[in-house]
Structure 1
Amino acid sequence: MANKKIVFTGGGTAGHVTPNIAIMNPLRESGWDITYIGSKNGIEKEIVEKENVPFYGISSGKLRRYFDWKNFSDPFRILKGVGEAYSILRKLRPVVVFSKGGFVTVPVVMAAKLLKIPVIIHESDITPGLANKIATKFATRIFVTFEETAKYFPLEKVLHTGSPIRKELFEGNKVEGKAILGLHENKPIITIMGGSLGARKINETIRESLDILTNSYQIVHLTGKGNVDESLMHVRGYKQFEYISSELPDVLAATDFVISRAGANSIFEFLALRIPMLLIPLSKNASRGDQILNAKSFRKKGYAQVLMEEELTKESLLLNLDSLVSKSEVFLHAMEQTSTQNTVDLIVDEITYYSR
């Protein structure tokens, strides 16, 4: 009987975990034995354990492009993580490791290489993150979301797959979504998503604009952990949540427009669901600029309106939102022209090759 054991890794943000879940579900249905390796205290532990997938936490050090005193201690954490991952992988004996990115993945892919276990990595953004740049040396196969990304990797390793999207997102019910939210007025619903860790400036600007926004729209605000404002709990037409998990397909089915960061996984989900989006990418002051490139790519292809965070004010938010709504049919038409290639099936087929 073929060995159908696989280890997934990825963490730091939900964007490094939810695409893994999209792939894990069909693999599990076809008899794969799935295990997850992540950081001991990262968001991935909570998300993965909800999926009833065995989880192993390892030590990991953050990889930085800038000076920080922790740069001197974190390499030792990474080495410790390699040792821990090596022990776990040697015990589990998977036929393949699938890495989605984030600093926790570096020890895992290094350990897999030492054990001669094939490694597949997936890069979501247009330019590769530092973890995936390092992982490239140890990777057997590299999947990319954007066609533009292929040039950053060895040609013989790379495959353009697109972004894996959870099947359940397509199964949402608009009526159920409105019932869950308690939003029943005849006004469009806007969902604001700042990412699993939240987005302070977006949160503040939305709240400054509530008096005008709620005149024309119903607002669903995913604030990120610890960012719910209790003083606004009873504002009519405004619903706050730290994070939505199992109800997300229904909530997105009820959503007419979305205001979001420009993480690749999220924006490809909105594209697949045909939801016009206003993207406010994380600024270069707080990131390596990957979200800016993602957003510009979507703007160029006609999928999204883009507002830079440095230009975000109450006035610019309302102006860009008005533009998004007025041009929504144009955005929807561009989205309808996109390829419907089934990324998950393509990736599952590639993974299955290693169990033969």
Structure 2
Amino acid sequence: MNKQSIVFTGGGSAGHVTPNIAIINELSKNEWKVHYIGSKKGIEKELITKMGLPYYGISSGKLRRYMDAENVKDVFRVLKGIMEARSLLKKINPKLVFSKGGFVSVPVIIAASSLKIPIYIHESDLTPGLANKISQRFSTKIFTSFEEAAKHFPANKTVVIGSPIRKEIFSGDKERGKKYLGFTKERPILTVMGGSLGAKKINETVRDSLQELTAKYQIVHLCGKGQKDDSLDNTTSYRQFEYVNEELSDILAATDTIVTRGGSNAIFEFLALKIPMLIIPLTKKQSRGDQILNAEAFTKKGYSLTLDEEKLTKNSLIESLENLEKNREKIISMQTSPMGDALSVLIKEIQSNR
């Protein structure tokens, strides 16, 4: 059987990459030759090259919603990225381009459209990011995680499917995770995840609260690149990592409670694993407010509790975790995703392009 080529794009944060990885891992290696186009220095380059896949970095500008002198320069960066992507796509000749968004995806999608290559995009959040707002007019089909997101796209090419969940997160082993962390069975495990770039205020508040928190929990803290505090490395009930990859499924299997940002892909994975969540979304000063909406939607459905970062203090963190534990069984009973298997839907849709 002849292999067909497919190009994936998306980057800027791990949330724009991990769903692509979930799909890539399920595609038949006998049927598909996978290529990835991303930015020259983004986290997507690190994650994809680790998989041994062909990776191509292109020029890309940041998509801003505000006036800035850099916007003028970025117009030329995007134009350069379109030309670079078009050249790559002509050589690769893919059957399909699949995008998870992020500013780097826009040049790729515009280039693919100019070559009449089918384009699928997936929107994870309750409201679309600027990249997908631009990309929708060029897309062949649009998939969303939330029903609320579908109303922002053309109805004739939009399907609500949920979030594609990496199958490997279900393969974790609880005992292996505890052994890796050096934790015992005496206390439950609290995992703190601030996202791939970390979360300064969450990190600081957790560390300020260690005495109180370690009296109740053993803590694994995924704090982000460059945000480890080496002075705390000798604490037996507290383990910190900048980022974990292969060990994540085991850590999640051992996790009893999680503190997380409100990125859609992450919270859908924790929902699938039935882990009670305290969501601390990015503020509107740090983002367009998508994480706030995601957190509100999950909390409204009984999947989690939310603590606004503006209200985050040592006392509010401890109080919110106590409230989460009081409602633990109720939250777990509610944690049934209303969506089907988004990953299987996407694989079927991709296969239809062979």
Provide TM-score, normalisation by structure 2: 0.98
The DSSP-based 3-state class of the residue aligned with 1:35 is strand
In the alignment of these two chains, the number of paired residues is 354
Match of 1:338 in 2: 337
Partner amino acid, structure 2, of 1:22: A
Q: What is the aligned-residue RMSD (CA, Å)? A: 1.0
Identity within the alignment, %? 58
Contact 2:172 2:253 in 1 (8 A): yes
Q: Distance in 1 between matches of 2:126 and 2:78?
A: 26
Match of 2:26 in 1: 26
Partner amino acid, structure 1, of 2:49: E
Match of 2:282 in 1: 282
- Please list, as runs of the form range in 1=range in 2, the aligned pairs for 1:33-182 lying within 5 A after superposition: 33-182=33-182
Q: Distance in 2 between matches of 1:174 and 1:69?
A: 51
Partner amino acid, structure 2, of 1:341: G
Partner amino acid, structure 2, of 1:347: L
Q: Distance in 2 between matches of 1:72 and 1:84?
A: 19
Match of 1:239 in 2: 239
Q: Distance in 2 between matches of 1:62 and 1:233?
A: 36
Partner amino acid, structure 2, of 1:343: A
User: 1:51 offset after TM fit, Å?
Assistant: 1.2
Q: Distance in 2 between matches of 1:30 and 1:155?
A: 34
Partner amino acid, structure 2, of 1:36: Y
User: 1:104 offset after TM fit, Å?
Assistant: 0.2
Match of 2:187 in 1: 187
Q: Distance in 2 between matches of 1:6 and 1:255?
A: 36
Q: Distance in 1 between matches of 2:188 and 2:238?
A: 12
CA-to-aligned-CA distance 1:134-156 (integer Å, 9 cap, x gap): 00011000000011111000001
Q: Distance in 2 between matches of 1:208 and 1:299?
A: 26
Q: Distance in 1 between matches of 2:100 and 2:154?
A: 18
Q: Distance in 1 between matches of 2:182 and 2:55?
A: 35
Match of 1:259 in 2: 259
Unmatched tracts of structure 1, length 5 or more: none
User: 1:31 offset after TM fit, Å?
Assistant: 2.2
Structure 2 residue 191 is the aligned partner of structure 1 residue 197: no
The DSSP-based 3-state class of the residue aligned with 1:122 is strand
Structure 2 residue 319 is the aligned partner of structure 1 residue 319: yes
Q: Distance in 2 between matches of 1:2 and 1:146?
A: 36
User: 1:2 offset after TM fit, Å?
Assistant: 6.2
Contact 1:85 1:111 in 2 (8 A): yes
Partner amino acid, structure 1, of 2:346: I
User: 1:283 offset after TM fit, Å?
Assistant: 0.3
Partner amino acid, structure 2, of 1:151: K
The DSSP-based 3-state class of the residue aligned with 2:151 is helix
Structure 2 residue 327 is the aligned partner of structure 1 residue 353: no
Contact 1:279 1:307 in 2 (8 A): yes
User: 1:185 offset after TM fit, Å?
Assistant: 4.2
Match of 1:6 in 2: 6
Change (3 A) 1:8 1:328: same
The DSSP-based 3-state class of the residue aligned with 2:66 is coil
User: 1:339 offset after TM fit, Å?
Assistant: 3.5
User: 1:4 offset after TM fit, Å?
Assistant: 2.2
CA-to-aligned-CA distance 1:116-175 (integer Å, 9 cap, x gap): 000000000000000000000110000000111110000011011110111110010000
Contact 1:10 1:99 in 2 (8 A): yes
Structure 2 residue 304 is the aligned partner of structure 1 residue 304: yes
Q: Distance in 2 between matches of 1:193 and 1:237?
A: 16
Q: Distance in 1 between matches of 2:194 and 2:3?
A: 40
Contact 1:298 1:304 in 2 (8 A): yes
The DSSP-based 3-state class of the residue aligned with 2:64 is coil
Q: Distance in 2 between matches of 1:301 and 1:4?
A: 41
Contact 1:3 1:95 in 2 (8 A): no
Contact 2:103 2:131 in 1 (8 A): yes
User: 1:28 offset after TM fit, Å?
Assistant: 3.5
The DSSP-based 3-state class of the residue aligned with 1:246 is coil
Q: Distance in 1 between matches of 2:260 and 2:347?
A: 29
The DSSP-based 3-state class of the residue aligned with 1:348 is helix
CA-to-aligned-CA distance 1:244-275 (integer Å, 9 cap, x gap): 10110000000000000000000000000000
CA-to-aligned-CA distance 1:188-235 (integer Å, 9 cap, x gap): 100000000000000000000001000110000000000000011111
Partner amino acid, structure 1, of 2:135: A
Contact 2:2 2:31 in 1 (8 A): no
Q: Distance in 1 between matches of 2:188 and 2:30?
A: 40
User: 1:236 offset after TM fit, Å?
Assistant: 2.3
Q: Distance in 2 between matches of 1:180 and 1:253?
A: 12
Unmatched tracts of structure 2, length 5 or more: none
User: 1:30 offset after TM fit, Å?
Assistant: 5.3
User: 1:3 offset after TM fit, Å?
Assistant: 5.8
The DSSP-based 3-state class of the residue aligned with 1:38 is strand
Partner amino acid, structure 1, of 2:345: L
The DSSP-based 3-state class of the residue aligned with 1:293 is helix
